Amino acid sequence: MKENVVIIGGGVAGLEAAKNLHRLGYQTFLVEKNKKLGGHVAIWHKLFPDMASTKAIIKEMVDDIKDVTVFLDTQVKTIESAYGGYQIAFSNGVNVHAKAVLVASGFELFEAAKKEEYGYGIYDHVITNADLEAWMNGNKDQRIPAAPKAIGFVHCVGSRDLKAGNSQCSKVCCMTAIKQAIEMKERFPNAEVYCFYMDLRLFGKKYEDFYINAQRDFGIHFVRGRVSEVSETIDGHLQVKAEDTLIGRPLKVQLDMLVLMAGMVANNQIKPIVEQAKLEIDSDGFLKSSDNITHIIESGRDGIFYAGACTGTKTVPETVAEARAAALAIHDYISGL
Amino acid sequence: MIYEGKQKIWSDYQKEIPDDHWYYVRSCIRQNFFPASERMFTEITQKVLGKDVYETPYHTTCGGIAYHCDTIPQETVMTIVARQFALMTEAGYENYCPSCITSFGNYAETLETWREFPELEAKIRENLWKACKREFNKPKYLAHSSDLIYHWREEIRKRAKHLLINQETGEPLRIVEHIGCHYSKMFPHKGVGGAEYPYVLAGMVESWGGQVIDYPERRHCCGYGFRQYHAKANRGYSLSNTHKKFESMEPYKPDAIITNCPGCPYFLDRWQYVIAEQTGKTYGENGYGIPVFTYEEIAGLVLGYDPWDLGLQLHQVAVEPLLKKMGVEYDPKAKYLGLNKEDLMRPEMPNSIKCC
Amino acid sequence: MTNYFDELMKDYRFREGFHTCINCGTCTAICPAAEFYCYDPRKIVTTVETRDDEKIEALLKSDTIWYCGECMSCVTRCPRKNGPGLVIMALRDLSIRTGFFTESEKGRQILPLTHALTGNILNYGYCVYPETFKWDDHKESGPVFKWHLEHIEQTMKRLGANYKGKGPGVLRKIPQESLDEIKAIFDVTGGTERIKQVEAASKKKAKEMGLTDEEYERRAFEYCSDKHFNK
Amino acid sequence: MIDRIPSGFHPFVIPFLVGMAFVLLYCFGAMIRVLYELSWQDRKKFFLSLLNPKILLKDIKDIFLNCLIHVPLWKRNKLFGYMHSSIAFGWFMIILLGHIEVLLFVPGRINLFYYPIFFNYFVAEDDVTLRGSLLFFLMDFFLLLIMSGIAIAIFRRIKNHVFGVKRMARPTFLNLVGLYSLWAIFPLRWLAESFTAHISGGSFMTIPANWLFRQFLGNELNMLPTWWAYSIALCVFMCVLPFTRYMHIPAEMLLIPMRNAGLKVRSSRKGFARVEFFSCPNCGVCIDACPMTVDNGNVKDCTVYLTRQLRRNNEERIQEISDKCLLCGKCEALCQVGVEGPGLRILERARRDYTVPFLYPAGDKKVESRKVLYFAGCMTHLTPAIGRSVEAIMKKAGIDFTWLDEQGGLCCGRPMFTAGRIAEAKAIVANMEKLILESGCDTLLVSCPICYKMFREQYNLPGVEIVNYIPFINNLINTGRIKVEKSDICYVYHDPCELGRGCGMYEEPRKLLGRSAGIAEAGHNREESICCGGSLGSLSLDFSQRENMTKAALNDLYTSNADAIATACPLCQATFARYADRPVKDIAEIVNNQIL
Amino acid sequence: MIDFGFTLSKSSTVDLNKIDHSRYDQLVKLVPTARMCMNCGSCGATCTVSEYKGMSVRKVLYGIQRGEDVKAMLSSCMLCGKCTMVCPRGINTRNLILNLCKLYD
């Protein structure tokens, strides 16, 4: 029997790491605070750039960890250093002594209501990117009109915003906005779709193609300017104000619905773990790695490793790659390499 | 519009307002244009509510308007502010209540700047000593006079003679609230309800039975813009901004506007008159405008004061339609009479907007 | 005064309101001036950000910096904690100190504004005062205000004001010792010097423009060319 | 030879007569229309030219060489040339010989229009003479010649690519009718003459056929249908002729004297242009010449389709075709009849209405006074190495010069011109002329061939010599002001359209390049050089559509196996550099690097 | 009528709901690549005339989508085609300008 490894977080990072650690022969415990595995990704409908079905991806990942011990609806109560490893108590009463711990606690979606001027939770037709994905997954959402004629996407909601407490770019929202804009245009071909952006940060493989398609094939309008405020008109439309910085004039438009691209912020729910395990928080609020270039998965504490968005904003492929790397790093660590 | 969402924000932006012992300073503009409003403030707070609201004859303007017209240096305005604080300190008060929003912003900005740059505060203390041989303590609490009325809104409601309810239909009156820009835009946490959905006036309206209207251009400036009004050449800017707001609120058919800023009620009132003269357009019912009030005037009406004691005769937009809706009794003939009922003649009537 | 940027950095308002600009335009989007003048506050910040003396000087001489109404709506929204309004206040201050304000139509308004506002403050202790509020220059205050000004003693009394009276109250007469203190503050803090500076620079410009001082001031107060507006 | 039919008439000649009358009337009418459409100056010029014996002689010679012998075609492709000249010249000879026969044997019938055509039906051989035999032999010989041509034509239809011309214009229905009737005429004539050969005589073609037919067919009975068929085929051909490409036969006979008279196209639809587009034989040479037709794309936008659409007045297609063309000029260079594809298109573009006027953007500018004024042109700003190299060469040669570009020289006007905004281009020209003349320079040095063509053709700069940088640098070497050393690198020289076909400069660049480096030739060079695809001539071709054109031109350059590509145009350089697998350099750059 | 000495001024705000898009729509039909502009500004940077008249295809293209008057810029274009050469998105800018010059009345 090999050593125990505990993975905190059952999102894609946790799932991928669990699979690999299990294959490497470790007794792997995957603990997830929600009742379902898959994390944020499970809410999503389709993933760029392949427009792959999230359901299928998560199902495959979950099937791959059939033999892993999974604690759902469970949290880490205490974690303390003991006997060359960590003694961990879970909220379900189980205690495990783990040789290594993988923190894969991911991120939290920025609470869009904090950007008060956008009126999330106040205006009838303002939703977030996550709400839209849930709707595309079949969830009913009264905020989305039956046949919207004008749809807006606001980039950088809670990202690149000192006042919102997050000066960082959330990296995936530009691409998500364009993906969702295209998906909405496909569903509502007669709708005008506007993306309000500051910079289009389309860094990944094939991302720029989405941008080109959005312009050329879907006629999606890109307005360079951060939305300054949203208000509701008497007939329930949303009046959006921004500066069109490319011509240097204020701009307003009435929309039927507005999607806020809520960014990724650090997951504060792991604060207790951070304190007990004496982990460090970086200046961006995410967990601090040994360094951010070659040791992003290392915590600087023996036996504790990181994978995925707990150390900063990540795409799904980056997260999966980190999870595999972390599994290997744990294997090396336990093997004394 | 989801009301609960706003409530959540309001709960995030509550400020501590001591219940008593306030040092009161007056507003230049309000004294000129709404003399009765300030008088009502002391009347309500001191006489009706029995609060300790102290005023000294030695206080002056804070210089805020001159400062925002860029005619005096920052050090000058800060030293004037320091003098005001010194008067407060000498009077033994530590809760400071300006009647003016520009002042309120000016004090808040001064305190904030001193906090950030203590060397500047030291410099100002030195200036004040040099000029006036005075010293001061910074106020412990800073609240605008509308904050106080907001704070005591329920007590006023308890004594209410009229509510903001249409007596004919029984429906709440539709009230547009307009907040002065310098109330919370610079420092959202210094205003009740924050910068985006300020609650200070909305709270009064709700408490007194009215319905608050949220229209697209609600947050926007009336267009005062200091130099944009005080230099005649620039008044088109001021007019245009008010026009934009009225165009935006028009479809909601508001019964009245309530404001907490010295300039705003003047501009929202007079620009309606100018728009009517220039374009023929009026925004109220039957050729009237939408009456504009200070919060003291509304509070005074709620408490049952005579409209002409509240100074409503100095409005260019007729207030009578609202008085009728509220069921306030008034003597139309007394509107333009002097203190001892002496005849002061009547002002000329405007051409394009109905007046009484 | 060679380096305008360093000069601006001495201004506390500038230090509070000038950080890095992300060029997002949230300020311009809701700026009351941007909507009604040919004006873009974002561009002012980016111009200052260049730290290019030539560009800043052009700004100091331009009408552009005088369009702002100092409502500070921009401060609320900026995601980088800038205050374009504060930057403009610092620029205006510098424009006055350098005398460049006389180079622009809107800048020249500083003279009548200074006379009106500092005059009221120093003479009466108020920024605005009925005796200096000329109805002919304020027709927008309406016939009702004309009536009020014509019967000011009675109307003020009717409304419970203490107009020109002793003790506290609305529009009371501010005691002379208080006015003296204000004057002393002006002297100590550069307020008096500022008035002299504005008057001297304006006088020079009036001469240059071939106008008498009165004509210059009147023109600055009420003349508005249409170059400021959107076509 | 004696008359066999006393009346000298048979109804079967009627179809021929109808056809002939129709085509003559039509052509006459068309000619009148064209003459009417000419400006009065042009009309005068044309008529005067016909009175000038020298020009008239040239007209006749050109018509003979071009229309009958098809000399240009021979030059291009011998078999193709043979095919055309065999039919045209053969037919002409048959008609000529027919007339000689009538004159010789039945001179009384010469006034009968159809007699020479159906001579063999109307006569009977009474005695065999050497003279008759020779004529009969010649008749059969030319008939054979024609039929060999037609055989090739039929074969060509089946197997196009044998002839080098890979693609031809898709024939319309009427063109097919014309084609088949043309093909039918001569075999039918042969059959008809064969059937009557035992009566009217014949030679090596007809006598054996006559013998053969008589073995199993009753001669007398079968004689008439073939004559009828022959006449009808002629009729059909002539009736459809005005509506088919065969209209080029009469049109070219008008085109040649008009061109010799010095007329120019002034409108894309009227007058001389009309003669030009009716002269297009739809041979399809332009399709293969066109750089746009790479991978069989844009075939329908070649000049042959332009002429077709111009004849049809198909506005939408005319516009499309006109806008797409790169104006590389290769179709014109290779055209047998000299249809001015690019010129017609520019005129066509000039017909558009622009509601936004052009206002010359630069105000009063002054250029400093130097002997040589150098204009690099817009495109050179994207390939600054050219300008810098020219500058360096001039400095090394000690030339007193200044830049026109930096002192208000905005644009030569050629891009505006090719876009068809002629008046606007002239406004640019006028401003530039003023600027240049006021500078007091005596030489205007131009490195961009696009500009060079414009300066040469559209500018009036008295006292200023307009020089292209290639001969200029050559001259600097000739006069010893600079010395160059030959490098080991071998360059393949790409003839820029505007310099080569546009200005006829083919050898100077090669001479200059050869002095400083090794030189190789592309598969297609000089007037057959393939456009780089970047040409400003095209208005509507998109970037993505040009890619294959550039690559095809590059592939042609690669066949030389040279180390690098040399050109003398900034646009070609910038365009090639985008896809080339080897360096692309301007000659100036190469020379500058080799200066001792 | 009282002369107040000032009047309402026109708003510079671009109201996307009120802009006439027909010219842009027509243009896109004629020059489909027009949609692909990403506002990089290469065209304006290389433009010879930008120095004189502030010409930039980007501004023209964007301007017509925002109801701006771009005629002055259009009038200054000499069609030299440098912008077409430098456009990273392969937009046929020259044809775009030429077509726009026809679309105004």
**Domain span including residue A286:** 4-106+267-334
Which chain E residue has the Cα nearest residue D363? E52
Interchain pair B218, A231: CB under 8 A? yes
Mean pLDDT value across residues D159-163? 64
Give me the helix-helix angle, A54-63 and A12-23, nearest 10°: 30
Residues A212 and A325 in one domain: no
Q: Smallest Cβ distance to A252: which of E13, E38, E68?
A: E13
Mean pLDDT value across residues A128-142? 96
Does residue D337 carry a pLDDT above 80? Answer: yes
**Any chain E CB within 8 A of the CB of A147?**
no
Interchain pair E12, A250: CB under 8 A? yes
> Domain for residue E35, yes or no?
yes
* Structural domains for chain B: 17-145 (1.20.1050.140), 146-334 (3.40.50.11810)
| Number of folded domains that form chain A | 2
Interchain pair E13, A247: CB under 8 A? no
Mean pLDDT value across residues D482-511? 96
**Domain span including residue E32:** 22-103
Domain closes at, from A232, A263, A294: A263
**Any chain B CB within 8 A of the CB of C154?**
yes
Identify from C70, C101, C222 which residue to disrupt to test chain B contact, counting B C-beta atoms within 10 A and taking the largest count.
C70
pLDDT for the residue numbered A27: 95
> Domain for residue E91, yes or no?
yes
Q: Smallest Cβ distance to D378: which of E48, E87, E91?
A: E48
Does residue D165 carry a pLDDT above 70? Answer: no
Q: Is the peptide bond before B98 cis (omega within 30 degrees of 0)?
A: no
The mean pLDDT value of chain D amounts to 92
CATH code assigned at E32: 1.10.1060.10
- With contact defined as 3+ CB pairs under 8 Å, the chains touching D are E
Query: Cα-flanking dihedrals φ and ψ of residue A187, to 5°?
Result: -75, -35
Residues A304 and A214 in one domain: no
Residues A120 and A163 in one domain: yes
Give tens-digit pLDDT for A242-281: 999 999 999 999 999 999 999 999 999 999 999 999 999 9
Residues in chain B predicted with pLDDT less than 50, given as ranges, are none
Q: Smallest Cβ distance to E7: which of B234, B244, B278?
A: B278
Give the position of tokens 């200054």. Answer: E76
B2 neighbourhood in chain A, CB within 8 Å = 121-124
Q: Which long-range contacts (CB under 8 A, 24 or more apart) does E67-72 make?
A: E67/E14, E67/E18, E67/E19, E67/E20, E68/A247, E69/C231, E70/E100, E71/D356, E71/E104
- With contact defined as 3+ CB pairs under 8 Å, the chains touching A are B, C, E
E1 neighbourhood in chain B, CB within 8 Å = 277-278
A231 neighbourhood in chain B, CB within 8 Å = 214-219
> Domain for residue C230, yes or no?
no
Residues A248 and A293 in one domain: no
Q: Return d(Cα D529, Cα D508) in angstroms, integer.
A: 16
Give the H or E element holding residue A6: strand A4-8
Residues of chain C with a CB closer than 8 angstroms to some CB in chain A = 22-31, 34-35, 40, 42-43, 76-81
Q: Smallest Cβ distance to E76: which of D355, D359, D379?
A: D359
Identify from E11, E12, E15, E16 which residue to disrupt to test chain A contact, counting A C-beta atoms within 10 A and taking the largest count.
E16
User: Is chain E touching chain A, with at least 3 CB–CB pairs below 8 Å?
Assistant: yes
Give tens-digit pLDDT for A37-64: 999 999 999 999 999 999 999 999 999 9
Residues A274 and A291 in one domain: yes
Does residue D525 carry a pLDDT above 70? Answer: yes
Q: Which candidate, E37, E49, E92, places its Cα nearest to that of E74?
A: E49
Give tens-digit pLDDT for D385-420: 999 999 999 999 999 999 999 888 889 999 999 999
Q: What percent of chain D has pLDDT over 90?
A: 77
Does residue D522 carry a pLDDT above 80? Answer: yes
Interchain pair E78, D541: CB under 8 A? no
Which chain C residue has the Cα nearest residue B128? C185
CATH code assigned at A122: 3.50.50.60
pLDDT for the residue numbered B216: 96
Interchain pair C69, B228: CB under 8 A? yes
E11 neighbourhood in chain C, CB within 8 Å = 35-36, 230
Buried b (16+ CB within 10 A) or exposed e, C51-87: eeeeebbebbbbbbbbbbbbbbbbbbbbbbebbbbbb
Residue B70, token pair as written in the block? 């860029």
Residues in chain C predicted with pLDDT less than 70, given as ranges, are 1-2
Residues A54 and A31 in one domain: yes
Which of the four pLDDT bands, split at 50, 70 and 90, describes residue D161? low
> Domain for residue C112, yes or no?
yes
Residues C114 and C89 in one domain: no
Domain closes at, from A263, A279, A307: A263
Residues C27 and C124 in one domain: no
Q: Where are the alpha helices (DSSP H) in D365-442?
A: 384-396, 414-418, 422-439
Contacts across the B-C interface (CB distance below 8 Å): 286
Residues A256 and A122 in one domain: yes
C229 neighbourhood in chain E, CB within 8 Å = 9-10
Q: CA distances (Å), C95 to each of B212, C137, D202, D349, in order?
A: 43, 27, 111, 55
Which of the four pLDDT bands, split at 50, 70 and 90, describes residue D483? very high
Q: Between D157 and A125, whose confidence is greater?
A: A125
E35 neighbourhood in chain A, CB within 8 Å = 215-216, 219
> Domain for residue E5, yes or no?
no
Residues A128 and A247 in one domain: yes
Query: Cα-flanking dihedrals φ and ψ of residue D177, to 5°?
Result: -60, -45
**Domain span including residue C210:** 108-223
CA distance B252 to chain A (A): 7
Q: Looking at the DSSP assignment, which residues form a beta bridge with residue A150?
A: A192
> Domain for residue C231, yes or no?
no
**Any chain D CB within 8 A of the CB of E90?**
yes
Does residue A1 carry a pLDDT above 70? Answer: no
Interchain pair D355, E78: CB under 8 A? no
Residues C89 and C120 in one domain: no
Residues C112 and C218 in one domain: yes
Give me the helix-helix angle, E22-30 and E93-103, nearest 10°: 140
Task: List, as one string, the DSSP characters of B147-194.
Answer: HHHHHTHHHHHHT-SS-SB-TTT-PBPEEEEE--HHHHSS-GGGSTTT
pLDDT for the residue numbered A188: 97
Collapse the DSSP code of A2 into the 3-class scheme (helix H, G, I; strand E, B; otherwise coil) and give the result.
Answer: coil
Residues C42 and C113 in one domain: no
Residues C63 and C21 in one domain: yes
Residues C113 and C193 in one domain: yes
Contact between D287 and D293 under an 8 Å Cβ cutoff? The reply is yes
Give tens-digit pLDDT for D6-31: 888 899 999 999 999 999 999 999 99
Domain closes at, from A263, A290, A325: A263
Mean pLDDT value across residues A10-17? 97
| Number of folded domains that form chain E | 1
Interchain pair C190, B73: CB under 8 A? yes
Q: Return d(Cα C230, Cα B344) in angstroms, integer.
A: 45
Contact between A7 and A14 under an 8 Å Cβ cutoff? The reply is yes
> Domain for residue C74, yes or no?
yes
Query: Cα-flanking dihedrals φ and ψ of residue A262, to 5°?
Result: -65, 135
Give tens-digit pLDDT for A207-217: 999 999 999 99
Q: What percent of chain A has pLDDT over 90?
A: 97
Q: CA distances (Å), E105 to each of D301, D353, E71, E101, in order?
A: 30, 11, 11, 9
Residues C119 and C201 in one domain: yes
Q: Return d(Cα D278, Cα D337) in angstroms, integer.
A: 10
pLDDT for the residue numbered D553: 97
Residues C113 and C217 in one domain: yes
Residues C118 and C210 in one domain: yes
Secondary structure tally for chain B: helices H, strands E? 16, 8
Residues C140 and C196 in one domain: yes
> Domain for residue E39, yes or no?
yes
Identify from A247, A253, A255 which residue to disrupt to test chain E contact, counting E C-beta atoms within 10 A and taking the largest count.
A247
pLDDT for the residue numbered A180: 98
CA distance C25 to chain A (A): 5
Residues A187 and A143 in one domain: yes
| Number of folded domains that form chain C | 2
CA distance E18 to chain A (A): 9
C-alpha dihedral (C97, C102, C104, C107), degrees to nearest 10: 60
Residues C174 and C95 in one domain: no
Q: CA distances (Å), D452 to each of B56, C76, D326, D498, in order?
A: 88, 60, 18, 8
A242: left (phi over 0), alpha (psi -120 to 50) or beta: beta
CATH of domain D372-476: 3.40.50.1860
Residues A116 and A259 in one domain: yes
Q: CA distances (Å), A331 to each of A22, A26, A70, D417, in order?
A: 11, 9, 20, 73
Interchain pair D361, E53: CB under 8 A? yes
Q: Return d(Cα D291, Cα A336) in angstroms, integer.
A: 68
CATH code assigned at C11: 1.10.1060.10
Residue E20, token pair as written in the block? 């006439």
pLDDT for the residue numbered D125: 84
The mean pLDDT value of chain A amounts to 95
Identify from E12, E39, E71 which residue to disrupt to test chain C contact, counting C C-beta atoms within 10 A and taking the largest count.
E12
CA distance C23 to chain A (A): 8
D448 neighbourhood in chain E, CB within 8 Å = none
Q: Where are the alpha helices (DSSP H) in C103-190?
A: 110-124, 142-150, 152-158, 176-189
Buried b (16+ CB within 10 A) or exposed e, A269-297: ebeebbebbebeeeebbbbbbeeeeeebb
Interchain pair E4, B244: CB under 8 A? no
Give tens-digit pLDDT for A272-327: 999 999 999 999 999 999 999 999 999 999 999 999 999 999 999 999 999 999 99
pLDDT for the residue numbered B294: 97
Q: Between D79 and D496, whose confidence is greater?
A: D496
Query: Cα-flanking dihedrals φ and ψ of residue A101, to 5°?
Result: -125, 135
pLDDT for the residue numbered D223: 82
Contacts across the A-B interface (CB distance below 8 Å): 42
ipTM over 0.95: no
Q: Which sign does the torsion angle of CA D368, D374, D378, D384 carry? A: negative
pLDDT for the residue numbered D219: 57
CATH classification for the domain delimited by D483-593, as one of 1.25.40, 3.40.50, 1.10.287, 3.30.1490? 3.40.50
Give the contacts of D151 (CB within 8 A, at least 6 positions apart).
none
Interchain pair B217, A232: CB under 8 A? no
Give tens-digit pLDDT for D419-447: 999 999 999 999 999 999 999 999 999 99
> Domain for residue C76, yes or no?
yes
